[in-house]
């Protein structure tokens, strides 16, 4: 089977007529300029050393060079083979806290943005895994089911904001329950012969106001699901900004007494959740190695084979075409424009042209 991998390369063929047209008008313009400078009677004598045939040959070679370069850029392929490609990894749910407290700016630009940035890095550095995205606050909502399409996952991560769920607060128990359902609905079916490694990564500031999360984490761990938690924010804490529809700062969130609310990270709650889920707890810091450590920990888990596909590979044939183009370019460079054996007058004496 013969095919071109990069058909868009043929758009560059417009360079060929451009070379011909520009060369034609350049010759006419230079001839006219010379005739105006030295006169039309003297011009034929002074320009008689220039070979019009060699100029045409050089133009033809330039056209051929561009043609072969474009042809090589189009990547002609001939011959094919098939190869079995196995997809292996783990099933992961990224559960991201989108409560108002995640908008605190004790880390820049704010806790939620920092979490989204690091999760995008995780997606880029953990290919082959099936990943789902869940937003949670007082309730949890699955935004993206398990998929091995990193572009789709990153799109859902970027779309996370405090409006992703309708209820404020932080409810880890609801997160774990919804994550379990997401694994059962969209994950690999398990039985006595198939074991799937499942991971829940919770990105939050840890302000859980509900009970029962630790017991739910222990039960998931008994079923083989590991829970990792990442804390965002500082112990000093920060105020929660209130912005208008245009994003301009109006003030800061206040309690019923009119005092500015200061939200601090609750690392102990997240650490206890990770320990119950037989995972690890990380504190996110600027320039820290929490992403690397999490990737290593997940990488050490047992991989699951998701599916097997047959990939078709085509044999590249552009190398010879590219070599021909290079050789023609070198030939064009060494061809001069003077007539062979031309003789001109130097004073009273006729001498051969160099």
Q: Express each pLDDT in 204-255 by its tens digit.
A: 988 665 568 899 999 999 988 999 999 998 888 888 888 877 778 888 888 7
**pLDDT tens profile 100-131:** 888 998 888 899 999 999 999 999 998 888 89
Whether 289 has a pLDDT exceeding 50, the answer reads yes
- For the chain, give every domain's residue range: 2-80+314-352, 91-302
Q: What is the 3-state secondary structure (H, E, C) of 137-175?
A: CCCEEEEEEEECCHHHHHHHHHCCCCCCCCCCCCCHHHH
| pLDDT of 267 above 80 | yes
Rounded to whole angstroms, the Cα distance separating 344 from 263 reads 93
pLDDT of residue 120: 94
Nearest to 119 by CA among 111, 236, 271: 111
Q: Tell me the average pLDDT across 18-34.
A: 82
pLDDT of residue 207: 66
Tell me which of 88 and 149 has the higher pLDDT: 149
What are the tens digits of pLDDT across the range 302-328?
A: 776 655 555 567 788 889 999 999 999
Q: pLDDT averaged over the chain?
A: 83
pLDDT band at 47 (very low <50, low <70, confident <90, very high): low
Mean pLDDT, rounded, for 164-169? 82
In angstroms, what CA-CA distances link 278 with 71, 185, 228, 284, 301?
57, 23, 8, 19, 12
Q: Between β-strands 225-231 and 198-204, what pairing exists: parallel, antiparallel or unpaired?
A: parallel
Is 106 in a helix, a strand, or coil?
A: coil
* Residues of the chain by 3-state class (helix, strand, coil), percent to 5: 40, 25, 30
How far is 279 from 199, CA to CA, in rounded Å? Answer: 9
User: So what CATH class is 91-302?
Assistant: alpha beta
Banded pLDDT at 349 (limits 50, 70, 90): very low
β-pair partners for 350: 345
Average pLDDT (66-90) is: 80
Instruction: Give dist(CA 188, CA 191) in Å, integer.
Output: 10
The confidence band for 193, taking pLDDT boundaries of 50, 70 and 90, is: very low
Contact 301, 226 (CB under 8 A): yes
């Amino acid at each position: 089977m013969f095919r071109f991998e990069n058909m868009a390369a043929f758009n560059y063929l417009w360079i060929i007529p451009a070379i011909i047209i520009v060369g034609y008008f350049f010759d006419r313009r230079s001839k006219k300029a010379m005739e105006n400078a030295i006169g039309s009677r003297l011009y034929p004598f002074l320009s008689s050393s220039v070979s019009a045939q060699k100029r045409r040959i050089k133009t033809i070679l330039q056209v051929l060079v561009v043609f072969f370069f474009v042809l090589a850029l189009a990547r002609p392929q001939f011959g094919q083979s098939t190869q079995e490609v196995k997809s292996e990894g783990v099933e992961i749910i990224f559960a991201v806290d989108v409560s108002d407290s995640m908008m605190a700016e004790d880390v820049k630009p704010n806790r939620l943005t920092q979490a989204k940035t690091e999760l995008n890095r995780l997606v880029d550095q953990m290919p082959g895994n099936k990943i789902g995205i869940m937003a949670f606050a007082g309730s949890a909502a699955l935004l993206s089911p398990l998929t091995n399409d990193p572009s789709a996952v990153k799109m859902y991560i970027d779309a996370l904001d405090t409006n992703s769920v309708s209820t404020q607060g932080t409810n880890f128990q609801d997160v774990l329950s919804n994550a379990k359902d997401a694994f059962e609905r969209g994950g690999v079916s398990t039985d006595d012969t198939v074991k799937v490694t499942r991971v829940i990564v919770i990105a939050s500031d840890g302000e859980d106001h509900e009970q029962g999360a630790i017991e739910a984490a222990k039960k998931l761990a008994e079923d083989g699901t590991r829970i990792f938690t990442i804390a965002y924010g500082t112990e000093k804490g920060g105020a929660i900004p209130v912005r208008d529809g245009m994003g301009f700062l109006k003030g800061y969130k206040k309690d019923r007494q009119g005092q500015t609310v200061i939200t601090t990270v609750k690392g102990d709650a997240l650490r206890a959740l990770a320990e119950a889920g037989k995972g690890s707890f990380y504190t996110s810091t600027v320039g820290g190695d929490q992403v690397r450590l999490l990737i290593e920990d997940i990488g050490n888990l047992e991989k699951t084979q998701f599916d097997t596909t047959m990939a078709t590979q085509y044999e590249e044939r552009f190398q010879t075409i590219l070599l021909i183009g290079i050789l023609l370019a070198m030939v064009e460079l060494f061809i001069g424009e003077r007539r062979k054996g031309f003789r001109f007058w130097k004073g009273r004496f006729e001498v051969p042209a160099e």
